[in-house]
Structure 1
Amino acid sequence: MKKILYSFLIFSSASLLAQKNPATRFAVANDIVGTVDLFTGKENIIQSKQVYKTAASLPQNLKKFGYIADNGLVEYKLKKGYEGQDRLSLAQINEGHGVSKDSPVFVDGYEFSNPDTMIYAEILNNVEVKDNNGKKSVFATSKLK
Structure 2
Amino acid sequence: MKKLLYSFLILSSATLFAQQNSSVKFAVANNIIGTVGMFNLRKDIVQSSKAYTTANLPASLKKYSSVFTNGVTEYKIKTGYEGLDRVSLANLNGQNDIPADNPVFIEGYEFTDTNTMIYGDILGKTEVKDHNGKKTLFISASR
TM-score, normalization: structure 1? 0.92
The answer to whether structure 1 residue 139 and structure 2 residue 110 are counterparts is no
Q: CA deviation at 1:68?
A: 2.2
SS at match of 2:130: strand
Whichever residue aligns with residue 111 of structure 2, its letter is F
Q: 1:94-138 CA deviation, whole Å, 9 max, x = no partner?
A: 011111111110011000010110011211222100011111100
Residue equivalent to 1:14? 14
Q: CA deviation at 1:66?
A: 1.1
Q: 1:42-87 CA deviation, whole Å, 9 max, x = no partner?
A: 11101111111x2120111111121222221000010111111111
The answer to whether structure 1 residue 127 and structure 2 residue 131 are counterparts is no
How is 1:1-145 mapped onto 2 (pairs within 5 angstroms)?
2-52=2-52, 54-144=53-143
Equivalents in 2 of 1:46, 1:134: separation in Å?
41
SS at match of 1:21: coil
Structure 2's unaligned 5+ residue stretches are: none
Structure 1's unaligned 5+ residue stretches are: none
Question: Once the two structures are aligned, what percentage of the paired residues are identical?
Answer: 53
Give yes or no for contact 1:24–1:71 (8 Å, CA) kept in 2.
no
Equivalents in 2 of 1:140, 1:41: separation in Å?
20
Q: CA deviation at 1:35?
A: 0.4
Equivalents in 1 of 2:61, 2:70: separation in Å?
14
Equivalents in 2 of 1:44, 1:120: separation in Å?
17
Give yes or no for contact 1:26–1:34 (8 Å, CA) kept in 2.
yes
Equivalents in 2 of 1:28, 1:89: separation in Å?
14
Whichever residue aligns with residue 9 of structure 1, its letter is L
SS at match of 1:10: helix
List, as ranges, runs of 4+ consecutive aligned residues in structure 1 with deviation greater than 4 Å.
Answer: 1-4
Query: Considering only aligned residues, what root-mean-square deviation do their CA atoms show, in Å?
Result: 1.3
Q: How many residues end up aligned between the 2 structures?
A: 143
TM-score, normalization: structure 2? 0.93
Q: CA deviation at 1:10?
A: 2.9
